[in-house]
Structure 1
Amino acid sequence: MPEQRSEPGYPLVALLDRVATVPAAQNVPIRGLCNHAQDVRPGDLFVALAGTRTHGLRYLDEALAKGAAAVVWEPAPGIAPPAPASVPVIAVDELARRLGMVADRFFGHPSRGMTAIAVTGTDGKTSVSHFLAQALDAPWRGCGLIGTLGYGMYGHLVPGAHTTPDALRLHAELACQRAQGAAATVMEASSHALAQYRLDAVALDMAILTNLTRDHLDYHRNHGAYATAKRRLFSMPGLRHAVLNTDDAFGAALAAALPLSVNTMGYGIGASPLPDDRSVRATGIRARRGGLTFNVSTPQGTGMIESRLLGRFNVSNLLAALAALLTLDMPLSRALARINQTRGAPGRMEVRGTVGQPLVVVDYAHTPAALTHALTALREHCAGRLWCVFGCGGDRDAGKRPLMAQVAERHADAIIVTDDNPRGEPPARITADILTGFAAPDAVRVIHDRSEAIAGAVAAARAGDVVLVAGKGHEQVQIIGVEQRPFSDSQTVAMVLGEPPA
C-alpha cells in the first residue's frame, strides 16, 4: 500500500464517527490503516474482516504483537468475540460496507480533489480506461489510473493484485495520486469490487458502462446478481455523469432508468434510445490493415476518427472514451485529436509480425463474448486463415469452457487449445471440458505447454494469416497450482517471430 501515515494520529472517535461508538477513554490516535496482520505497524488500526475462507480475527495476536493501536472487527457466523485486549477492540456490523467511509476520512477525502471516473463492464474496461488516461494526462496536468494493468500515474504504473483494490488500498492510492498532482483519475470498477463495496465513499464524477455479458458466474452465481453488482456503480451518491453503451441491452435499459439528476450520454453504432444531443454515434466504419477509420456524430457536431487500433469492437471502446471527453466539456476538435493519438493497452489487440510473416495478435479475450469480438474483428484484417490459440482458467467458471470452444469453432479456421492458468485443476480436465463444445474435436490440436502451442501456431501460419493468442493478454505469469511461473504471451510471440521483446 502507498505510504500514507497520519502524524500525530487521527483520533479514533472521529475516525469511526457514524460507524461505531467509541468510549472517550479509548480515543487513541490512529497513524495508519491495515487489514493484513503481517503488515501492521505501530499505531495502526487493524481491520479484521470476514472473508470467504477465513476471518481477520484469526490473526489478531499477530496484529497486536506488531503494535496495533486499536482493532475493528466484523461479526460473522461462527466467529466468537475476541477476549479483552490491551487496546480498543470494537465490533462493527457490515464493516466491509463501511470501510470505504473510514478510509476516505483517514486519507482526507482524496477523490473530492480530483475528477474521478469509473469504468465498468464485462469487456473493454482496461482499454477504455487507458484511452481516457492518455487523453486526460497532458491537459489535466497528470491523470491517475487504477486497474488491471496496475495503479499510479499514467505511464508509471505499479502492478496490483486486483483490478480494483480493496477500500483501504483504493483510498490510499487516490491520496497518493492527489499528492502527485493528479487532476483526474480513471479506475476500473470490477463486479467483485462493486459487490464488496470497495468503491463506496469514492466521490465519483462519472461512471462508464462498456457492456454486460457472461463472466464471473463462479463468484456471482447467476447473471442477475452480476448485473446487480454492475448497476451499483450508477447509484453511487453524488454521481454526476453516466456514459453508456446503448448498443448493449443492459446499457439501453440503464439509460432509461437513471434519474434526471445524472447527466446521461449514450454511445454506439446502432440507433440510440437517447436524443441526438445526448448521443455519440459511429458510421462508415472501415477496417484496414493499419487500423480503423469511421465517422462520428456528437452533440458538438461531426468528425472522423482514424485510429491505429485493430478490431471493430475497438470502435465501441473509442466511442466510450470520446463520449466521456465530450461530457467533460472538452471541445470536439481536441477530443478527436486525443482519440486519434491513443495507443492500445498492453495485451489488448497487441500486434506482432512484419511483412512476410503472419500477423500475430495478443489479446486478453477470456470470455465467450470477448473471444467472439476478437475473432470477428480480426477476420476483417485477415487475407488468409484465422488461427486461434486459447485455453480456460482453472478454478473458475467451468460453464463457459464449451462456450469458448463453440465461439472458436464458429469463427476461426484453425484452433489450438492450451493451458491458461490451470491453478489447482488438472489441465487435462479443463481441456476435456473445452473439447465438449466442439462439433469436430478431432480437428482441434491440444498442446498443454502454452509456449509450444504459440510456437506451433506461428510456425504453421503463413504470410497473410492472422494468429490470435487469446486469454492472458498483459499477464506476466502462468499460475500452475499455487506457483506463479513467469510467462508472457507477448514476449513468447516476439521470441518466436525473432522480434525484440516489447
Structure 2
Amino acid sequence: MQLNRLFPGLTPAPPALDVCDIAAHSADVVPGGLFLACAGGRSHGLRFLADALDRGASAVAWEPQPGAAAPELPAGVAGLRVPGLQRELGGIANRFFASPSASVEVVGITGTNGKTTVAWLLAQALEHLGQPAGYMGTLGHGRIGALRTAALTTPGCVTVHRQLRELADGGARKVAMEVSSHALDQGRVDGVAFRIAAFTNLSRDHLDYHGDLASYARAKARLFLEAGAAVAVINLGDAFGRDLAGRLPPGTRLVGVAAMPGTAASLTIEPVAASGPGQRLRLRVAAADLQFDSPLLGGFNRDNLAVAAGILHAQGFAPAAIATALASCQAPPGRMQLLPSAAGPCVVVDFAHTPDALRRVLEALRETAPARLWCVFGCGGDRDAGKRPLMGAVARELADRLVITDDNPRSEDPDAIVAAILAGAGRGPQVEVIRDRAAAIQHAVGMAAPGDVVLIAGKGHEAQQIVGHEARAFSDQAVASAALAGRP
C-alpha cells in the first residue's frame, strides 16, 4: 500500500511509496516494510530504529516529542513525522489490512474472570452452528483446533488487525476476541469495529498496573462506552455489570443475562441438577424454557454459559439451537480441567489467579468433594501484591489442606511472596509450604486419598514457569498426570 493512502491528510504529504508491511516493533519489520516508531510509556520506538533499518525498513513513521530531533535516515528510506502516531495506529492498521473487522463479525469479551471460557465456548458453539469462527485470546489465535500460541491476551494494535485479516481470509465469518483491560487502556483494539461487546464480571486484578479498582473498572467500561458496539451483552448478576448497563450510549441494544432468576435479565441459565461430571441447566429466553446438559462445573461457569448464550441470542440464533450448541461445548484447556484418573483423587487444573476466581473455583469444587479438598497455589511475582494475603485467606477458608508453592516468581523473592500469602492463610497443620511447584503437586496428589479433590490453581494452560528472567518448560497438567500415574 502507498504511504499517501496510509496517512491521508498528513502534512507534508507522504510520497507515493509502496510498503509491503507495517510493524510497530522493530523485530517484526520485514524488507520493504514501514516501521511505526511510537512514543511509548517506557521508551520511544526510535530507540530501535537501527534494528528496523537493519531488517530492511523502507520507510519510518515517527512520533515527535518536545525537544527531540528528527531521526537521521539513510538515503532511500522515507521518513514521516506523524504527531500522535500512537493514537493513529488503529486507523493505520485498519487501512493497511483493508478493514478486516468489516469482513468478519467481531465480538469483544471483557471482564476480570471468564473471558477465555466465554470466547472459547462462543467459538465452539458457532462452529457447531455452521458458522466458521475464529478465536483470539489467552490461548492463542486462529480456528479452534488450529491455534497459534500468543504471548498476550490481546496483542498489540497492528497484530490485532493482522490476525483479524488472517482469520477473514481463512474463511472465518465471526471472531470471539478476549479484550483485556491493558488492551483497552493502551489502545490495542483501536480501529476494530466491534459488533457485540460482552461483559463477564469485575473483581480485583491488575492493580499493579491500574492503581485502583476504579481505574481498572473505567478501562473495562471503554469497550462499551467508546468502541461503538451495536449490542452489549452484560452479566447483570455482577454489580458493576448492572451499573454499566445503565450507562450505555443511546442506541446500544442491551442483552442482559444472569445465572439466576429474579434479575432484569432477558436471558438466564439456571441450575437444575448435577449431571454426571457436569450439570443440567435451564435456558430461559423470550418464550423458550429449555434444558440441556453441560460438562462445565460450577456456578461461575453458569455465568460464563449465560454470557455465551446471550451473545448467540444477539446474533439471531434460536433458543433450541443455542441450547444444543452449548451442550456440545467443552471447557478450554486449564479452566476447571479434570485430569483422568482411574482410582485416585480427582485432580483439577485451573487458571484461577485472583481472590474472586479462587473463591469461585473452590466453592464449585466443594460442592462435588465428598472428602477433603486440597488447594495447591502460589502468586505471580511483579504483579498485584495486595491480592496475595486475600488469596491465602480464601484458600484457608475453603480448602481442607493448603499447599503454598511458587507460581511465576519472576524477579521477586519467592520467599517474600509466600510470606505475603501466609499473612492471609495463617499457619497450622493444614497449611504446608513447598516452594518447588513440581514437588508441591506431587506431594498433594500423592497424599490425597481416593475421593479427595486436588485443585492446582494459578497457571492453567501455561506451559512454562518464569523464574527471574528465565522461562522454564513446566506444565501443571503433565506433572499432576505423572503423579497420578505413579500412585500405587
TM-score norm. by structure 2 comes to: 0.95
Query: Shift in Å at residue 52 of structure 1?
Result: 3.7
* CA 437–358 in structure 1, closer or farther in 2 if over 3 Å, else same: same
**8 Å contact from structure 2 (residues 123, 175) kept in 1:** yes
Partner of 1:217: 207
> Within 5 A, what are the aligned runs for 1:265-284?
265-270=255-260, 274=264, 279-284=266-271
The residue that corresponds to 2:293 in the other structure is 306
Moved more, 56-65 or 89-98: 89-98
Question: Is it true that 1:124 corresponds to 2:111 in the alignment?
Answer: no
Q: 1:178 aligns with which of 120, 144, 168?
A: 168
Q: Deviations over 1:310-364 (max 9, x none)?
A: 1221111111111111111101111100001100100000002435311000000
Cα displacement string for residues 268-326 of structure 1 (whole angstroms, at most 9, x for unaligned residues): 1345653xxx6111334434551112222112411113111112211111111111111
Counterpart for residue 424 of structure 1: 411
Measure, in 1, the Cα distance between the counterparts of 2:429 and 2:59.
Answer: 62
Query: Corresponding residue for 2:218?
Result: 228
Residue 465 (str. 1) matches residue 452 (str. 2): yes
SS at match of 2:368: coil
Q: Match for 1:334 among 302, 305, 321? A: 321
Q: How far apart are the structure 2 equivalents of 1:349 and 1:368?
A: 16
Measure, in 2, the Cα distance between the counterparts of 1:56 and 1:272.
Answer: 52
Question: Which digits, 9 at most, give the CA deviation of each residue in 1:160-212, with x for residues without a partner?
Answer: 11101111111111111111111111100000101011111111110110001
- Which residue number in structure 2 is paired with residue 405 of structure 1? 392
The answer to whether structure 1 residue 354 and structure 2 residue 341 are counterparts is: yes
Counterpart of 1:316 (choices 294, 297, 303) is: 303
Query: Deviation digits for residues 220-250 of structure 1, max 9, x if unmatched?
Result: 1111111111111012454111100101111
Match of 1:485 in 2: 472
Counterpart CA distance in 2 for 1:207 and 1:272 is 24
Shift of 1:37: 1.9
Partner of 1:42: 31
| Pairing of 1:44-443 with structure 2 (within 5 A) | 44-76=33-65, 79-83=68-72, 85-86=74-75, 87-270=77-260, 274=264, 279-287=266-274, 290-440=277-427, 443=430
Which moves more between the two structures, 294-303 or 356-365?
294-303
- Unpaired stretches in structure 2, ≥5 consecutive residues: none
User: In 1, distance between residues paired with 2:82 and 2:272?
Assistant: 54
Give the drift of 1:439. Answer: 3.5
In the superposition, relative to structure 1, how do residues 436 and 238 fare at CA in structure 2: closer, same or farther (>3 Å)?
closer
What is the rounded CA distance, in whole Å, between the counterparts of 2:67 and 2:271 in structure 1?
61
Between Structure 1 and Structure 2, how many residues are aligned? 485
Task: Give CA deviations for 1:470-500 in whole Å, capped at 9, x if unaligned.
Answer: 000000000011111111111111111119x
Give the counterpart letter for 1:463 in structure 2: P
The 1:446/1:97 distance shift into structure 2, 3 A limit, reads same
8 Å CA contact 1:140–1:183 kept in 2: the answer is no
One-letter identity of the residue aligned with 1:234: F
CA RMSD of the aligned region, Å?
1.8
Rounded Cα–Cα distance in structure 1 between residues aligned with 2:303 and 2:441: 29
| Identity across matched positions, percent | 44
The aligned amino acid for 2:240 is F
3-state secondary structure, aligned to 1:30: coil
Relative to 1, partners in 2 of residues 1:127 and 1:31: Cα closer, same or farther, differing over 3 Å? same
SS at 1:257 equivalent: coil
Aligned-partner Cα distance in 1 for 2:128–2:269 = 26
User: Partners in 1 of 2:309 and 2:89 — Cα distance?
Assistant: 34
* Residue pair 2:349, 2:477 contacting (<8 A) in 1 also: yes
Aligned mates of 2:44, 2:262 — CA distance in 1: 47
Contact preservation (8 Å) 2:129, 2:325: no
CA contact (8 A) 2:259 2:306 kept: no
Question: How far 1:38 moved relative to its partner?
Answer: 3.2
Give TM-score scaled by structure 1 length: 0.93
Residue 8 (structure 2) pairs with residue 17 (structure 1): yes
In 2, the alpha carbon distance for the partners of 1:301 and 1:339 equals: 15
User: Contact between 1:418 and 1:431, CA under 8 Å: does it hold in 2?
Assistant: yes
Amino acid at match of 2:63: E
**Cα gap change, 1:78 to 1:245, in 2 (>3 Å):** farther
Contact 2:269 2:305 (8 Å CA) reproduced: no
- SS of the residue corresponding to residue 259 of structure 1 reads coil
Offset at residue 423 of structure 1 (A): 0.7
